[in-house]
Amino acid sequence: MIIEINQACDLVIFGAKGDLSKRKLLPALYKLEKSNKIHKNTRIIGAGRADWNIQEYRKIAKTAIKNFLNEEIDDIIWRKFSTRLHFCNIDVYEKLHFFRLKKILDQKKNIIIHYCAMPPDTLNSIFIGLKNASLNPNSSRIILEKPLGVCLETSKKINNQISKYFSESQIFRIDHYLGKESILNLIALRFANSFFFHNWNNKTIDHIQITVSEEVGIEGRWNYFDTTGQMKDMIQNHILQILTIITMDQPKNITSESIKKEKLKILSSLKSINKSNINTHTVRGQYSSGIIKGKNVPSYTEEQGANKNSKTETFVAIKVNIENKKWFGVPFYLRTGKRLQCKYSEIVVFFKKMPINLFKTSNLQEFQNKLIIRLEPNENIKVDFLNKKPGLDQEYKLENSQLEYNYLSKKYPKILIDAYERLLLESMRGIQSLFVSREEIEESWKWIDPIIDAWKKTKNNEIQLYQSGTWGPENSNLLLSRDERFWYEFN
């Protein structure tokens, strides 16, 4: 068995009581333990406002791992993992509490990593508290969750605040989509295959659709979600990251600097959406009650803790244009929503129709080659094309065919790496390439802010209700049918 030697770390999780820590971080760390990726002296210190002792924290962690990993916990692995877990009762607004943390940390031997799984408005207190207790030495690292801020101004503010106490090489800004196998594969697909490489521009591509559909609602996170909405929760980060990866030019090399540089060029070329085009370019919706997989689910405003009058969007569809030579005239249609029919993410590349039809018995005007990249679940790649129907017919008869490659499920059934697993490991290794730069985040906000602003000011673009378990509000279809296009149906 190969044991990977990372540096020994003290990983502090601020927000240990929170959803992210229980749902994603602890299960991912347990999986890393299982695959022997964690240094033997690494420790995990949950930090939060609770007077749990170590035993209580370990018990809570075990339940969370069991619930969210959906597998039986292996006793031997758990015993090893649980000895790494410690807890520090800390209120991040109390400067002196950081000295409690200092007592637990082993600064001489271990590299300290602070994971801030806390809302944006608490971050500065964490930075200052860490600085006061000298818990920000050059060797330490700090991980920031998305969304970073709630607009350009607040994002800049956080970046300016953190830059007083940590240098850029210490800051890891997370977007967990960048840790997903299928998203990383997009780079290989585009830049290792001349077939795709040469056909990736406005001469061959008609338009591209990106769907990230979620079945879950807001999972008890009403307070967080209601001030965020789907636009800041999903589009500003995950979906814009997918968009930049599929549209960026070939980077000079495969280093994080070169890739980030290309992604940034795309972000700064996004055509702005404002009051003048908000109605033709965006749709927003909020889920009403409905049935998903045979189960009744409540509306957004009936969720636990909800404000009945909330106008926060849980669904967004946007038509995006990129103002550069390569993509001039190619629309990108993005959509994402909660409580839709099922969970799946997909990119569909529609190629241009044939200019001339040699096959008079077929209506080529109806047909477009498509490349369908299923990001999850069941990662696969399909190509839609036409074939001659075999037979003695005098005339050519064409039929639709599909090439399909199951990227992960068949060939590598055991390699199911969770995005957080990969990113936590990268942070322990001290490698920043799968993290997002300050510039990318600020550039995204520059494009997002005017949209949110226009939504507030434009009366006709009111939020539309959609029934849970459907594909979103009716206007989402209108966004495409106006251009004589249709959403590629889930199948």
Binding residues for substrate: 176, 180, 214, 233, 338, 343
Total of residues contacting ligand BG6 (CB under 6 A): 3
Sites for ligand BG6 among residues 38-97 (CB under 6 A): none
* Angle at CA of residue 114, ends 112 and 119, nearest 5°: 175
| Residue with the shortest CB distance to ligand BG6 | 233
242/322 with CB nearer ligand BG6: 242
What minimum distance in Å lies between the beta carbon of 125 and ligand BG6? Answer: 22
- Residues 320-349 as x/- pattern, contact with ligand BG6 by CB under 6 A: ------------------------------
Per-residue H/E/C for the chain: CCCCCCCCEEEEEECCCCHHHHHHHHHHHHHHHHCCCCCCCCEEEEEECCCCCHHHHHHHHHHHHHHHHCCCCCHHHHHHHHCCEEEEECCCCCCCHHHHHHHHCCCCCCEEEEEECCCHHHHHHHHHHHHHCCCCCCCCEEEECCCCCCCHHHHHHHHHHHHCCCCHHHEEECCHHHHCHHHHHHHHHHHHCHHHHCCCCCCCEEEEEEEEECCCCCCCCHHHHHHHHHHHHHHHHHHHHHHHHHHCCCCCCCCHHHHHHHHHHHHHHECCCCCCCHHHHEEEEEEEEEEECCEEECCHHHCCCCCCCCCCCCEEEEEECECCCCCCCCCEEEEEECCECCCEEEEEEEECCCCCCCCCCCCHHHCCCEEEEEEECCCEEEEEEEEECCCCCCCCCEEEEEEEEECCCCCCCCCCCCHHHHHHHHHHHCCCCCCECHHHHHHHHHHHHHHHHHHHHCCCCCCEEEEECECCCHHHHHHHHCCCCCCCCCC
Tell me the residue type at 402: Q
228/470 with CB nearer ligand BG6: 228
- Work out whether 233 is an interface residue with ligand BG6 (CB under 6 A): yes
What minimum distance in Å lies between the beta carbon of 219 and ligand BG6? Answer: 7
What minimum distance in Å lies between the beta carbon of 347 and ligand BG6? Answer: 14
10/418 with CB nearer ligand BG6: 418
Specify the pairing of strand 205-213 against strand 282-292: unpaired
- Work out whether 443 is an interface residue with ligand BG6 (CB under 6 A): no
125/336 with CB nearer ligand BG6: 336
136/228 with CB nearer ligand BG6: 228
Q: Are 91 and 125 in contact (CB under 8 A)?
A: no
| Distances from the Cα of 72 to the Cα of 186, 411, 433, 446, angstroms | 33, 25, 33, 45
216/291 with CB nearer ligand BG6: 216
What minimum distance in Å lies between the beta carbon of 28 and ligand BG6? Answer: 12
- Work out whether 313 is an interface residue with ligand BG6 (CB under 6 A): no
What minimum distance in Å lies between the beta carbon of 469 and ligand BG6? Answer: 17
What minimum distance in Å lies between the beta carbon of 228 and ligand BG6? Answer: 8
233/443 with CB nearer ligand BG6: 233
231/349 with CB nearer ligand BG6: 231
397's CB contacts (< 8 A; 6+ apart) are: 361, 362, 388, 389, 391
What minimum distance in Å lies between the beta carbon of 78 and ligand BG6? Answer: 25
| Residue positions forming the annotated binding site | 49, 91-92, 146, 176, 180, 214, 233, 338, 343
- Work out whether 303 is an interface residue with ligand BG6 (CB under 6 A): no
Sites for ligand BG6 among residues 379-438 (CB under 6 A): none
Output the six-digit token pair for 196: 């795709």
| Residue positions forming the annotated binding site for NADP(+) | 49, 91-92, 146
Instruction: Residue 106: name the closest of 11, 16, 14, 40 by CA.
Output: 11
- Residues 356-375 as x/- pattern, contact with ligand BG6 by CB under 6 A: --------------------
- Residues 447-476 as x/- pattern, contact with ligand BG6 by CB under 6 A: ------------------------------
- Work out whether 214 is an interface residue with ligand BG6 (CB under 6 A): yes
Q: Hey, which residues are catalytic here?
A: 238
What minimum distance in Å lies between the beta carbon of 57 and ligand BG6? Answer: 24
Contacts with ligand BG6 by CB under 6 A lie at 214, 216, 233
